[in-house]
Structure 1
Amino acid sequence: MSTRPFLLLFNRLKCLLLQRLAALVLLLPLMALFHRTQAQSYVPYPGDTTQVFSYVEQMPALPTGGGNLALVKAIQKLVKQPAEVLEGRTEGHVIVRVVIGASGVPRQATVVQSLSPACDAAALDAVRRMPRLVPGRYGGQPVPVLLSVPVVFLSPRHVYAATEVTRQAQFPGGDAALEQYLQKNRATPAEVKLRDLKGHVAVRFVIKADGRIGASEVITPLCPSCDDEALRLVRGLPRWQPALGYDDQPVAMYQTLNIYFQPPAPQGDIAPPVPEHQVYTRVAQMPTLAGRSSPAAIQTALQEGIMYPERATNGNGQVSFVVEPDGRVTRPVMVKSISRATDEAVLAAALRLPRFEPGRHNGQPVAVRLVVPVVVEIR
């Protein structure tokens, strides 16, 4: 019996089986993608023969672990800062896109956000020299993963913001110790009591890389003496534990502190200021200065007491203050400003006014808020 028909049938079945297997092999990745597409994303990378993922269940990482921050730190330590950065002529960051292969080796690094040719080259060099990583895994299997890595270039004189450091500067003993220090060393200016001021002064300052206090400035003022006291407190702070940059080295950092002020509790027979909602603006018998009953007497006394600053600004303004039931002047405020320096001089003059004969309502002394015009004409 001839075996030729049998061989022909066998070969035909073999070809059909191979075709089915090939179709199945082609369909399996598509089936996997269909089931994973909501949780996984991928992008084809030019010139790569395998699928490159941009996110997988287990992202590439250093063998020692530590996540993304540890990887960024490791790359940052490999950066050779160009001369233009060391000299302070260039600062910023470069973003490098790199494929971490299934073997954990970086390849195909490209700059996607440039800073300068020298910085771009330094960033690429650092990324290419990163250590072999534990590869990313998809479905339990190692796969190529596309990463975007920021590489930072900052001059040695750069002062970092709080968001630019990996560890912020810390006061010895922490926030509770800082608050205790401020409470112990803060002096309340007399102006706070006289003007019944409640609020804070915000001071922005530099904590140097060695933990010492550097330049400082008031960014939210309250009153001149309050601002001076806040600056005195900040400039006298002890050394801090400095902030750390991405390379885990100490760096200078900006810090902001709010220094709070409020009037001290009344002592002895001095009554506290009358609450604002109980202060009158008009009563049958208005406050007057002793021996000066004319309507313009208060304005004249105020103008005579103004100690003008070196650079006073001419103009018309209005100051308001409260005459307490005991005749004291409290809570002066400018309701029509002239300039900051001139305003402060006017407010100080209001606090130096002599005691008034208080205003009276139904025969009883009461607190009355007065508004007094101010004219500044310096030639």
Structure 2
Amino acid sequence: MKQRWYCGTLTGLLLAAAPSLLAQTTNPSAPAPTAPAEQVYTFVEQMPTFRGSRTDSIMAYIRRNTRYPDEALKAGASGKVFVTFVVNKQGQVEQVRVARPLQDALDKEAVRVIQSMPAWQPGQQNGQTVAVSITVPISFVMQAPAQPAATAPKYPGGPEALLSYLAAAPYPDAARATEADVRLFIRFKLDAAGKVTGAKTIGPLMRKPAATPPPRPATEAENLEVEQAAVAYIQAMPAWAPATLDGAAVESEQLVLPIIFSPKPAPSTATKVYPYADQQPVFGTEAARMDIQTSIQRTIKYPAQALRNQVEGTVYLYFVVNETGALEQMQVVRSAGAELNQAVLEAARSQTAALTPAKHQGKPVKVFYVLPFSFRIR
């Protein structure tokens, strides 16, 4: 299958030293007087601007005008070409050269695109127009063949209805004796008909700290009854619209949802944190978007001590992506040991905010994730 291609764009303006300019002579034996070479700056008070607009107009121009050369496609060549050029006092682009070569065909295409640019607004220093040297990276990335079209399962009535269902879990009799205020996480799948299958708890009961001590500690039997009540409530959910692959209904990936049993209802003013949204957050970069689980997994480092001790396991992490796309409220809900837990937390904390946050009915909202991260020694 012929690969599709993608030409990346400017990711920032980089400053680079311009080549020295030497005066020319026409008669070695009797040199004529020459004007001093025009000074080329690498940074000035007012940098040149593309067509007098913002930097993103350069990105759009490069994206629109770059063509992936057939020679480079056949060779499987990809990567970034760094091109240096000078915007002179008249705003014209000149002295275009490849600062960091990649592959001959890609280098030539990058130079061609830069040379084709229209005039810029020239730079200024001390109120005078001056020549300025600029370096830009142009990315050439070949995309993998298109993956089969897939859709995630949808709860009847959407995320708002699912949030209401989870909040309406009846308080179990086994919890009343100890006035338990607990949260459990249930993992399950949905079959091709959208029905819940294989529901199980993950991790222990998570008790909310109480202002006053409970009448007595809960017994093991009471805890088990609470867990069974949570599983039963998830199993009783109405059928979802199933996941699909190329238009056909299929079994879903693993899902994890929380059930909260509290003797007091949550305040109506509490900020809603949705299980999913009409539009989920988008992570990664404009050129390489990815889901948050992949982004975190790539950042995780296997702790050296855990490797030496042959420690393996799966950590389940709960976190919220807020209205700005930032990660918050991180909590390990199933442990695989302190070292592996910490490795997952550090990777999650290092994530940059989403390119776009979740949106429900067109407005940014908070969504939560409960994701597994496995550690295996091969």
TM-score, normalised via structure 2 length? 0.37
Considering Cα pairs closer than 8 Å and 6+ residues apart, tell me whether 1 or 2 has the greater RCO: 2
Q: Which has the higher helix share?
A: 1
TM-score, normalised via structure 1 length? 0.36
